[in-house]
Each structure stands twice: as structure tokens, then as C-alpha cells.
Amino acid sequence: MAQLMLGKDTAAAVKADLDCEIEELKARGITPRLDIIKVGDKPEDKAYENGARKRFEKLGLDLEVTELPEDVTEDEFEKKLADANDDPLVHGILVFRPLPEQLDADRIARLTVPEKDVDCFDPVNIAKVLTGESSESGFAPCTAEAAIEIGERNGIDFDGMKVTIIGRSMVVGRPLAMMLLQKNATVTVCHSHTADLKESCKDADVIISAAGCAGLVTADMVKDGACVIDIGINVTEDGKLTGDVDFDAVSEKAALITPVPGGVGGVTTSILARHVVTAAQRLAK
């Protein structure tokens, strides 16, 4: 039976690391602050926002949320973003995506100051993930970093490991592949056109699924003793949250596994908080 990798344990470990860094900043009169800018009030945004609010409260960080109307114009949105870019009390900016059609998401990404772009929206930060510079001077996407964090905090050393990632989106799968290459893993990236998913998974030491497809990873795809990290979030017909992994069957073969809910999702806001603290430290220099 696999050992569970629980998000709350990793979140507690990240908090323990952050507490003294936050204390040091506060002693200098700096309270790290994140500004979330969102358009409309979508239930999926609300869940993330509430999770972030709880995490920031526990850590003693500031969080401001601006909700713009669904019919917000490009000028109005850019004015709000410019205010956050220019405000020295704001250290991190998170724009909830997807944005409505009337807004040019690529242009908005480029207008976000890279030093405050704590979830890797701006092309400068995306490039730094590619070149391996994000930990020194950029920001990786929080979910991708959370998947690595939960593995490492549970004793996984990715160096030399065969890792199969399912999903190639710009926010999760693709940056995750770059980050794992930086950690010297041998990475296979699968997606909806992969001819034989089982073949690409069955020799992997680590499988990380970010497809958004319930029941996709079955026990016959998993090597005995593998580590399985499930990023997927799906809602079943009876309204329950589930990941991409057939959890009960895969738990019988894997050595380590993340549950959904209770796994990677609970770490993402901890990484977001860490990025805001890092942004505050860098901006204070």
C-alpha cells in the first residue's frame, strides 16, 4: 500500500521555512502583499481565492482582491494592472485566467511587471523557466512547483529519475518538464495525441498527471514502487472532486501517491505565498 503524500504536511513545512523570513521582512516594516485581479466571479476562481486567503492569513501576509465586471474594457483592466505594477506596497500580482475575449491576454501578460509576476504569466518569467533561472531571478508557475515540492518533501530526488508527465499546457505540463530537466530527471511528456500512454508510463519512476481526465492513470500503467503525483482536478457526476489517477488501484502498486483532494492542490497556495515573500525580498534590495 502506497504511502500518502499529503498537501497539508508539505504546506506546514513550507510555512515553517517562511515564518522567519516573513518576520525579518516585518521587522523592516514590510508586509508582503499579493494583489489578485479577476474578471467576474467564477466558482473555480472563488475556491482558489478562498484557499489563498486562508493561507495568507495563517502566514500573516496581505491579500487584496479586485473583481472587475465581465464587460471590463482593455483600458480599464490595464489601468488596474498599472496601479498594481506601480504601487510599492504591492509585491505580487496574480491575474486569474482565462480572461474574457475582449481582453488581449498576451498583451496583459507582457504588461505585468516580471518582478511581481508571481505565477509566471509574463514571457520573461516563462523564458527563465526554460533557461533554468527562475529560482534565482524569476518565478515558476505555482502548480508545477507545488508538484515538485510535494515530491521532494517526501524524499524524492528527481536527479536521474525517469519522469513521465501527462499534459503539455503552458501553465502546468510544459514548465514542469523544463523544471524537472533542470533537476536532471529524464523527462517524457505525454498529451492527448500520445499514441500509447501506457507504454510511456509503465517504466517511469515518477508519473505526474496534469490532464484533467478522471480515471486516466490506471494500475496497469504504473511500475511497482513508483511515485504518483496527481495534479488533475475533476468533478464527478455526483459532485465529488477527483484526480486523474485511479487512486484505490494505483495505491496498491505505487510506493508514494498524492490524494485528490488533499494533495498538490493544498501546496499551490503555499508556493504562491513563498513567491510573494521572495518578490518582497527582491524588491526591497
- Residues forming the site for ligand NAD (CB under 6 A): 143, 166-169, 171-173, 190-192, 194, 197, 210-213, 216, 231-234, 264-265, 268
The distance of closest approach from Cβ of residue 276 to ligand NAD in the complex, given in angstroms and rounded to an integer, is: 16
Q: How far is the CB of 140 from ligand NAD (least distance, A)?
A: 13
Q: Which of 111, 86, 108 is nearest to 99 (CA)?
A: 108
Q: Report the candidate in 175, 146, 206 with the shortest Cα–Cα distance to residue 7.
A: 146
**If residue 116 lies in a helix (H) or strand (E), which one and from where to where?**
none
**Cβ distance 103 to 72 under 8 Å?**
yes
Provide the minimum distance between the beta carbon of 196 and ligand NAD in the complex, in angstroms, as a whole number: 11
Query: Which residue is listed with cell 511500475?
Result: 223
As measured in angstroms, the least distance from the Cβ of 282 to ligand NAD is 24
> Nearest Cα to 206, choosing from 216, 217, 191?
217
Q: In Å, what is the CA distance from 228 to each residue of 131, 178, 243, 245? A: 26, 19, 11, 8
Cell digits of residue 93: 500580482
Nearer to ligand NAD, 114 or 167 (CB): 167
Taking the least distance from each CB to ligand NAD, the nearer of 15 and 191 is: 191
Nearer to ligand NAD among residue 2 and residue 197 (C-beta): 197
Q: What minimum distance in Å lies between the beta carbon of 1 and ligand NAD?
A: 23
Decide whether 115 or 244 has the Cβ nearer to ligand NAD.
244
Closer of 61 and 147 to ligand NAD (Cβ): 147
